[in-house]
Structure 1
């Protein structure tokens, strides 16, 4: 559970068992380096539609999530959103390559930043920043783009594949300081106490441990971790919602004002507050959210399994 600084390259990474990993990363690097952004998005949407024929279980999960979360949509609207969502999944493959491999100048060319004054205000006051984010399919770009303005610290899950772990740490640290294992709470607290910006996405279903059941979209009892409030309680820390949205000509890095009266010390009320912020952001571009995850799998006693 140590902090992940830039890992050294070792000869062990050249073992033959990693051949296809290196080939895949090399192909991704080649495509995102040579192709223009619009071309990558065209290919991404096509790849996403193709994936719907292969990832049948994920299609079922995403469709079910849309039924649970957005019951106000009729069947035609949900299917349209589902297709757009998988197109976004395909685009995310290229966006990961952009985040990991593009130079700063090329990233800045497609990034429009909104709300950087909230970062400036926190820095001027010597405050740590908890960047409340979510699992948008543009999440790899989110931390990379924020780091272009002010390098921060990312929270992540280490990859068990040594080559992919090397690539993701190198890529995610291109414009940021270092990564902290999502289990390393002390490391997260330390970053905030030092006045760093800490990227944090609490919107997945992590089970019953340290969770409460509160509303998220139309699901009245969605398991939601209480870690957001725990981190936000660090002295001189402000919580800044931070998201990246894909637009017609690039991306908008949206940094919102600090959450007021947060946290208040009530786990349920604080989880409701953070869920409302995340939900509002997702509604700006619901097709760009990671609906492939079983967000509502954990249920209270007496409530049947939702999938």
Structure 2
């Protein structure tokens, strides 16, 4: 018992990436998980999609809380669909995100060149034009189910940095950070705005996502699929201070045979406008349009509408009794 207490008091920085710091037996269960991820990543892609769909089906059946969140989000965002269509989309969303879990191993442990032949990039000229202008590029991304692999595949075509939310497990975070920095230039912490501005001033391209609920601080309520959603204003401040170009981009898995598409779009115009609500509405609409390409490939299990315009507004995710 005393030995366990000693271990529990050890502090390992979530930014520690030296594997030698994770040799204690307390980390062995994580190493087992990582080893399984590596082994699964060596399987043929088509088989991984089948296994991922199976993982998604299990999650759909066994994790009712996440299923409920997805059901609420899809009911709010696709009111034009019948209840049966909405439920089918919920289930397909779990399948797509299950495949996304399998693709994490591909992103971390496989060379993206292995998938170059089945990856097509669209709109690369927008990146090239923005790089020629200088001042850096803010890649406006979203939380699609291809999040990790899509980012790895992007590295086949451009050099970019990434902002990431550090994993709660320090060893898993070390593996994730090392993997991403093999593909990207630098993996910045999600709150490292100083580092972000520095990279932009060096005319770097930085992947940045704004499409989650980050609480009540520094937000406006802008429509997202016509539902008021807490939307951060930091993107406008970053763009204003750096003079960077904001280019929306997305990445999706093809239907049917294995393959991927990466989309770079024309830069946002009149942005920032000086009106935070107008800016957030433009960003939300831009991401919404990309989600509509493949709505099942979005992270609908996140409580996107958790923060309401008024603290007295009802919780949209509370189950009715």
TM-score range, shorter chain: over 0.9
Q: 2:247 aligns with which of 234, 240, 243?
A: 240
Match of 1:231 in 2: 238
Question: What is the RMSD computed on CA atoms of the aligned residues?
Answer: 1.5
Does residue 296 (structure 1) correspond to residue 305 (structure 2)? The answer is: yes
C-alpha distance in structure 2 between counterparts of 1:111 and 1:67, whole Å: 32
Is 1:283 equivalent to 2:267 in the alignment?
Answer: no
Contact 1:49/1:83, CA 8 A, preserved across alignment: yes
The residue aligned with 1:155 is: 163
Q: CA deviation at 1:5?
A: 8.4
Question: Any unmatched runs of 5+ in structure 2?
Answer: 1-13
Displacement, 1:145? 1.8
Aligned residue for 2:17?
7
**CA contact 1:126–1:236 (8 Å) conserved in 2:** no
Pair 1:166 & 2:171 matched: no
Q: 1:178 to 1:189 in 2, by over 3 A?
A: same
Query: In 2, are the aligned partners of 1:5 and 1:178 still within 8 Å (CA)?
Result: no
Alignment of structure 1 residues 122-271 onto 2, 5 Å? 122-219=130-227, 221-248=228-255, 249-271=258-280
For normalisation by structure 2, the TM-score amounts to 0.90
What secondary structure sits across from 1:166 in the alignment? helix
8 Å CA contact 2:17, 2:175 repeated in 1: no
Larger of the two Rg values belongs to structure: 2
Matches within 5 A, 1:59-98: 59-98=67-106
Instruction: Show the counterpart of 1:22.
Output: 31
CA–CA distance in structure 2, aligned partners of residues 109 and 37 of structure 1: 13
Alpha-carbon shift at residue 183 of structure 1 (Å): 1.1
Match of 1:119?
127
- Aligned-residue offset at 1:303: 2.5
Structure 2 counterpart SS, 1:148: coil
TM superposition shift of 1:104: 3.2
Structure 1: 5+ residue stretches without partners: none
**Structure 1 segments of 4+ aligned residues over 2 angstroms from their partners:** 4-9
* 1:6 to partner: Cα distance: 8.7
